[in-house]
Structure 1
């Protein structure tokens, strides 16, 4: 593999692709291009570059109603969103994580709050708190349920794997490695004392998410550690 380039060669290899102009495009596997003509919701702090006339606003505390305000206060800063409004090209990324674009067609998906990068403003969303694990893991867990028609961009560390859930084949996952799942699935949480003792640690493998029914779960080959607002 070539290790050095002239300046002209490097520009040709890495310059932005102007040949397509879809609303969401993967400029690289870890960089999302939003061809903006209106507005989009994105994870706070995910903007890395833009051109054109784009204005950024932090999500208003009452932007989505009083109920979501209280949920956001509980879940901390991890779910904070920003609105980008205007015309131009907007580039988003999150810690070099791989980006996947999903098109919802009157469907629902639940995404780990830390793994949601961007979504079209017409999609309905709500924060779902995992209260049962709030005292079991650092900062607990919160997720965002998205439903309707439109594009959603999610992130994962390395390549994601989708596991199918069937009535006779439930799926167990590590919460720290779970990215998203079918919107209608309701995970149960269980603590495995044997695994906790075996691995010698108080989180991770000792807590499992159990998915039963019909649907899918997306996992990543990485255990992400979440922090509450008070730990930041």
Structure 2
């Protein structure tokens, strides 16, 4: 273990401006927002801030009646906080690794539990996976983000991205699935033969099936409960 004097420790661990813009990785597990306006963040993710910044929990009709009804269906899940003003805001989520994705008139689906922050220029909606009736009680909900701007997602350890092609479909454990390209519409399938292998004592193994052209982001970790919805 390295040992420091106080001066050495402050110099070694001190905040450093990299000039990367609004979203900047201060460390691989801490996001710095160089705020001059408004950003949506995962509620409870702020660990520090400086400057003139106001935090407001999303209003009950902040995003319209449609999302309010979906919130009623999906449960509380993750709520959003609006950070606005001028200053620096530091975000983190249980020590998970952070990746910044810059959308250019593109779309991506993200597991609600793995969404850390996104610019207000990004449109979003709660989506329910198809063909979930009879497989999962309550269904499986994720967030579709689309437009132009930055999105920050989190993963336990380093993410791995798998390419999906017409000739090579990809099957994943939903608990380890973080995100996928906006053009893909995964299905859920069950496999009785795998239940003993993955240690699920109650019923079948549930898998996500990706077919077409795109990508899937996975993490080397299974998040429990199954997946968290987003509010």
Q: In the alignment, what sits opposite 2:62? A: 63
Q: In the alignment, what sits opposite 2:47? A: 48
SS of 1:69 mapped into structure 2? helix
SS of 1:151 mapped into structure 2? strand
CA distance in 2, matches of 1:72, 1:135: 21
Q: In the alignment, what sits opposite 1:147? A: 146
CA distance in 2, matches of 1:148, 1:205: 37
**Structure 1 position 79, deviation (Å):** 2.8
Q: In the alignment, what sits opposite 1:157? A: 156
**Structure 1 position 133, deviation (Å):** 4.5
Q: 29-38 vs 12-21, which deviates more?
A: 12-21
Q: In the alignment, what sits opposite 2:182? A: 183
SS of 1:79 mapped into structure 2? coil
CA distance in 1, matches of 2:175, 2:211: 19
Tell me if structure 1 keeps the 8 A contact 2:130–2:187.
Answer: no
The superposition leaves residues 130-150 of structure 1 with CA deviations (integer Å, 9 ceiling, x where unpaired) of: 375487558753210001100
Q: How many residues end up aligned between the 2 structures?
A: 228
SS of 1:77 mapped into structure 2? coil
**Structure 1 position 199, deviation (Å):** 3.8
Q: In the alignment, what sits opposite 1:76? A: 75
SS of 1:176 mapped into structure 2? helix
Q: In the alignment, what sits opposite 2:90? A: 91
Q: In the alignment, what sits opposite 2:210? A: 211
| Backbone CA RMSD of aligned residues | 2.1
CA distance in 2, matches of 1:133, 1:173: 15
Tell me if structure 1 keeps the 8 A contact 2:175–2:227.
Answer: no
Q: In the alignment, what sits opposite 2:113? A: 114
The superposition leaves residues 78-132 of structure 1 with CA deviations (integer Å, 9 ceiling, x where unpaired) of: 2310100111000001000000000000000000000000000011100112375
CA separation of 1:4/1:132 partners in 2, compared to 1, >3 Å: closer, same or farther? farther
CA distance in 2, matches of 1:107, 1:204: 37
Tell me if structure 2 keeps the 8 A contact 1:25–1:34.
Answer: yes
**Structure 1 position 198, deviation (Å):** 3.8
Tell me if structure 2 keeps the 8 A contact 1:174–1:204.
Answer: no
Q: In the alignment, what sits opposite 1:105? A: 104
Tell me if structure 2 keeps the 8 A contact 1:175–1:204.
Answer: no
**Structure 1 position 39, deviation (Å):** 0.6
Q: 13-22 vs 67-76, which deviates more?
A: 13-22
CA distance in 1, matches of 2:137, 2:36: 39
Tell me if structure 1 keeps the 8 A contact 2:42–2:79.
Answer: yes
CA separation of 1:203/1:145 partners in 2, compared to 1, >3 Å: closer, same or farther? farther
SS of 2:183 mapped into structure 1? coil
User: What TM-score comes out, normalization by structure 2 length?
Assistant: 0.92
Tell me if structure 2 keeps the 8 A contact 1:76–1:228.
Answer: no
CA separation of 1:228/1:161 partners in 2, compared to 1, >3 Å: closer, same or farther? closer
